[in-house]
Amino acid sequence: MIRERIFISFLALVITVQLLLLVGGHREALRDDRVGVSAKRELVKRLGLTDLALWTEARYTRHPSQADLFTAFQDFPASFDHFPAGSIIAPDPAGLSTTLQVRRASARGQK
């Protein structure tokens, strides 16, 4: 029975530590929601910030939300992307979500 006890103790220990970290993290997140987020919101509001300051290498990675519409091909159409961040930022899904077909009344009459 010793192996079974060791296994169950190991599993219980790992899961307990994980749960403690998750609960601790959740409490930290709640505290941050109360204190940190309001301060950050005030900062974003006052400075009018629109983007995270993560990638500073190019305009379209520093401000993805403000970038030109053809972001990945900023320099000229079909140019290769320069930076790894460009491969993390995926383009919006292409294509139409709905379509509406409009036909001339005469064409419909012929059918």
Give the nearer residue to other proteins in terms of CB position, either 34 or 103.
Answer: 34
Q: What are the two backbone dihedrals, phi and then psi, of residue 63, each rounded to the nearest 5 degrees?
A: -130, 75
Give residues in contact with other proteins (CB under 8 A).
1, 3-4, 7, 10-11, 14-15, 17-18, 21-22, 24-26, 28-29, 32-33, 36-37, 39-57, 59, 61-62, 64-66, 68-70, 82-85, 87-90, 92
Residue 99 is encoded by which pair of tokens?
């379509």
Using a 10 angstrom Cβ sphere, with 0-12 exposed, 13-18 middle and 19 or more buried, the burial of residue 85 is middle
Give the nearer residue to other proteins in terms of CB position, either 91 or 106.
Answer: 91
Give the nearer residue to other proteins in terms of CB position, either 79 or 84.
Answer: 84
Residue 103 is encoded by which pair of tokens?
């036909």
Smallest separation (angstroms) from other proteins to the CB of 16: 10
Quote the CA–CA distance of 63 and 83 in Å, as a whole number.
Answer: 14
